[in-house]
Amino acid sequence: MNLVPRHLRRSVSLLLVLTVMIAAMAIPSWAAPEPQIVGGEQVAKGSYKFIVSVQLRVGGSEWMHWCGGTILDKKHILTAAHCGYNGGVPIQASNIRVWVGSVKLADKKSGFYVNAKDLIVNPTYNPSTQKNDAMIILLSKRIKKAKTISVVGSGSTDYQTPGYPLTTAGWGSTVQYDAGEIVPPNYPRVMRDVVVNVVSDSQCESEYGVLYASQICAAAPGKDSCQGDSGGPLFTKVGDTWIQVGIVSTGAGCADPEYAGIYTRISDPEISAFIAENTP
């Protein structure tokens, strides 16, 4: 059975051919061999509703995906402190909004925007070393029926033993590159996720030379978070509860076999205290 009226069939098939051609053109050749976050896969519709896209105003009414973030409660988003700066300059709250409810950016049928009212940068954050990379976004209005994530407790070592598998997810670049390499990023419209394993502090410290107590590393061959994933979570599910262990912070390259991804360690007492004090 053909439901397309006869007089439209020709234009429909033309449209199909055109769509296929444009789709083929849209996939850059350098991205093709990647299993396409790096090494991850697209998440199903309705997944991870506690993850938001933190967006930056780039002109009057023009916005772009900037970072990831997580919903702690109806009014508070957890993200990375470095997401509150643009070229070293603090960003004003009026230039930040979050995309909530959908894994597909800009799809107004499934998600919505909420403006920021205030950006609370962790006062112990050091922009030159990325130590204590955490920020809370206070929203201008409450998210009704918010899906939230719980944070791991202060001083807890749960889910942090070397080798422990944790998930990270976001709208960051899907392109692998080694430290020092320069390759064009590729940003997906639909969220992707990947499983990485906790790397021991000593291993990570030997890779980078320095590692702060408030950092935790994770890696897996060909898999990593990447630019644009910052501020998003490193997390797990226990029973029916989502638990956040880290915040995507920094790293050399993306899925460089010699360098793990670095995440802010939420169980660090300074990070836990910052979150507790600012989520009344």
Enumerate residues 201-240 that contact ligand ARG by CB under 6 A.
224-230
- We find the least distance from the C-beta atom of residue 199 to ligand ARG, in angstroms, to be 11
Is 194:224 a contact under the CB 8 Å cutoff?
Answer: yes
For the chain, the straight-line distance linking the first and the last C-alpha, in angstroms and rounded, comes to: 60
**Cβ neighbour number for residue 114 with a 10 Å cutoff:** 22
Residue 233 vs 261, nearer CB to ligand ARG: 261
User: Among 101, 138, 90, which residue's Cα sits nearest to residue 118?
Assistant: 138
d(CA 162, CA 232): 21
Residue 193 vs 229, nearer CB to ligand ARG: 229
d(CA 204, CA 225): 16
Residue 39 vs 101, nearer CB to ligand ARG: 39
268 binds ligand ARG per the rule CB under 6 A? no
The gap from C-alpha 182 to its chain's centroid, in whole angstroms, comes to: 21
Q: Under rule CB under 6 A, how many of the chain's residues touch ligand ARG?
A: 13
Instruction: Indicate which residue of 230, 249, 267, 272 is catalytic.
Output: 230
- We find the least distance from the C-beta atom of residue 113 to ligand ARG, in angstroms, to be 20
d(CA 139, CA 77): 8
Backbone conformation region of residue 83, classed left if phi is above 0, alpha if psi is from -120 to 50, else beta: alpha
40 binds ligand ARG per the rule CB under 6 A? no
- We find the least distance from the C-beta atom of residue 273 to ligand ARG, in angstroms, to be 24
Determine whether 230 is an active site residue: yes
For ligand ARG, the nearest residue by Cβ is: 251
Determine whether 82 is an active site residue: yes
Determine whether 76 is an active site residue: no
DSSP state of 147: -
What amino acid positions are annotated as catalytic residues? 82, 133, 230
Binding site for ligand ARG (CB under 6 A): 172, 224-230, 248, 250-251, 254, 261
